[in-house]
Amino acid sequence: MDLESFRREYILGGLRRRDLSDNPLRQFESWFVQAAEAGIKDPNAMTLATVDPDGRPSQRMVLLKYFDSEGFVFFTNYGSRKAMDISRQPEVGLHFPWHVLDRQVRISGRAERMGRTESVQYFVRRPRDSQLAAWASEQSSRIPSRQMLMQQFARMKEKFRQGDVPLPDFWGGFRIRPDSFEFWQGGTDRLHDRFLYTRTGSEWKIDRLAP
């Protein structure tokens, strides 16, 4: 297959400094709303990059569940590979690939576990089967078959057939507190527009980057 044939121009518009908010969270919110309105499937899907104890990077897609002035939140099994990586090295990267709009957002920051109360508040809003799946899956562990997974799921259904499904002790949220953002807008002739926000105390410094 000739991969060089996969080529196109990015023609959906440029990005100028005057168009940017001074606050990267407000800028992110504006772009996120536009991504959702454009009909992008799973606009909250983000690549989470971590590093293992040997310095090897690992990436996976997770779902952003909410964001605010404190940072970006997702939920997972605390025994998963990503959670174990974070426990040893909390500096992580996020990437939002909104290709339909010729846009990307890259975020770097520090991940921290959320309190149990916040995790419970989210967990009780999940569909019941998703709650049961959190109990059934020992995330990132090797399993012999899907049949075994479904058997474990059935056991959890039976175990919690009456009453509410409680939050597992091994499951909860992480919040990434950002220290840099990059907003990337595709441009013609590969002359893309890139702006980097870096935190300086309580303020944000904005620089244009060469494409």
For the stretch 124-162, pLDDT in tens is 999 999 999 999 999 988 999 999 999 999 999 999 999
Residue 79 phi, psi dihedral angles, 5° rounding: -95, 0
pLDDT at 8: 79
Tell me whether residue 190 is one of the annotated catalytic residues.
yes
pLDDT at 71: 97
Residue 203 or residue 1, greater confidence: 203
Place of tokens 């520090």: 110
pLDDT band at 1 (very low <50, low <70, confident <90, very high): confident
pLDDT at 3 over 80: no
pLDDT at 209 over 90: yes
pLDDT at 7: 72
pLDDT at 170 over 80: yes
pLDDT at 201: 87
pLDDT digits (tens, 9 = 90+) for 17-74: 999 999 999 999 999 999 999 999 999 999 999 999 999 999 999 999 999 999 999 9
As beta bridge partners, residue 52 has: none
The rounded percent of the chain whose pLDDT value lies above 90 is 89
Q: Which residue out of 88, 190, 194, 199 is catalytically annotated? A: 190
Helix (H, G, I), strand (E, B) or coil at 46: strand
pLDDT at 185 over 90: yes
pLDDT band at 202 (very low <50, low <70, confident <90, very high): confident
74: part of which helix (H) or strand (E)? strand 71-77
What is the pLDDT averaged over residues 91-95? 98
| Cα-based distances in Å from 136 to 1, 29, 74, 154 | 41, 34, 19, 8
Residue 17 phi, psi dihedral angles, 5° rounding: -55, -40
As beta bridge partners, residue 111 has: 176
Helix (H, G, I), strand (E, B) or coil at 8: coil
pLDDT at 6 over 90: no
User: Which residues, at least 6 apart from 81, have a Cβ–Cβ distance to it below 8 Å?
Assistant: 50, 52, 58, 139, 140
pLDDT at 110: 98
- Which tokens belong to 39? 């009909």
Name the average pLDDT for the chain.
Answer: 95
pLDDT at 10: 75
pLDDT at 9 over 80: no
